[in-house]
Structure 1
């Protein structure tokens, strides 16, 4: 079973982005928005690592981490903060932080730091063992293998195409805002990134164009939605 991470971040967009990228990296994630709820969850569930924003409502990140340390001296803790202040870093490490990451940061670097900490603490590979497979009507999407299969035909995907499609699969039949997609997949915003996203979505649409049960819809002024119609079950005679 994959490792489980407690993610505590009050900024909704940041929480969404980190949640999706951690899941795409193979972790199970419990995303929460305030320190008090996070402490309650920690007392009821088992986690392998905590990612905690310093500035949290109800119970700040330092207080939350101190309470967690009273319950568990060994679990790795990573702080996130927008404040690049020496005193904050010192306080975080005194509490027992394993790392302290200042915003803004690269998602790739963030994931590598998480992986390095878990590998050091648990002496085990941190990638999920299971193959991430998503049925999409008559298609099957294999995320780890970066391919879409229909019958005996397979279409190879680039890494970004696979990450983009998995983001849609995780939120199937739900609208995802355009800026959320940009930050989750490209870690950036702007005209050229937006045009790149349009190209990738166009490529995915071409793969599904002959199957009306699967489509990527443009929700004008908002974002996109992967629509997958349920498949009719054969009736018994």
Structure 2
């Protein structure tokens, strides 16, 4: 069974590209465009990995990571950002579930490799 991924990305083209790359790699991907959609989806599906774009329009997606940490303390979060905010690694201190940060433009094989790695860690943690 493939890991379920929730992808939050507001740019339709980037969202579609990431979704297709992850689906081609065998992942079950739910892609959403807003923070409210992401929070709703987290309540409805058993997500294994959360991939969040840091800036969704004019807002930050940090509340989504916080909600995920509250509802599912074990869910790993991978952030993707084109922003110059938090360049010193401060993002990791803002939510306990953040595992990795990828900077745009994201190389698709790097994205898939990162998700493979995080997915493997999640399976190992669940088994122990």
TM range (shorter): 0.7 to 0.9
Distance 1:58 1:46 in 2: 28
| Partner residue, 1:107 | 108
CA pair 28-58 structure 1, distance change in 2 beyond 3 A: farther
| Partner residue, 1:116 | 117
Say how many residue pairs are matched: 124
Residue 15 of structure 2 corresponds to residue 15 of structure 1: yes
TM-score, with length taken from structure 2: 0.88
8 A contact 1:35–1:57 mirrored in 2:
no
8 A contact 2:55–2:83 mirrored in 1:
no
Deviation at 1:84, TM superposition (A): 3.4
Distance 2:60 2:114 in 1: 23
Residue 50 of structure 2 corresponds to residue 50 of structure 1: yes
Deviation at 1:58, TM superposition (A): 8.2
Residues 131-142 of structure 1: pairs in structure 2 closer than 5 A:
none
Of the two structures, which has the highest relative contact order with CA contacts closer than 8 Å and spacing of 6 or more?
Answer: 2
Deviation at 1:113, TM superposition (A): 0.9
Q: CA RMSD in A?
A: 1.9
Deviation at 1:107, TM superposition (A): 0.8
Identify unmatched segments of 5+ residues in structure 1: 125-237
Deviation at 1:98, TM superposition (A): 0.6
8 A contact 2:80–2:102 mirrored in 1:
yes
Q: Which runs of 4+ in 1 moved over 6 A?
A: none
TM-score, with length taken from structure 1: 0.49
Distance 1:88 1:61 in 2: 18
Query: In terms of Rg, which structure is larger?
Result: 1
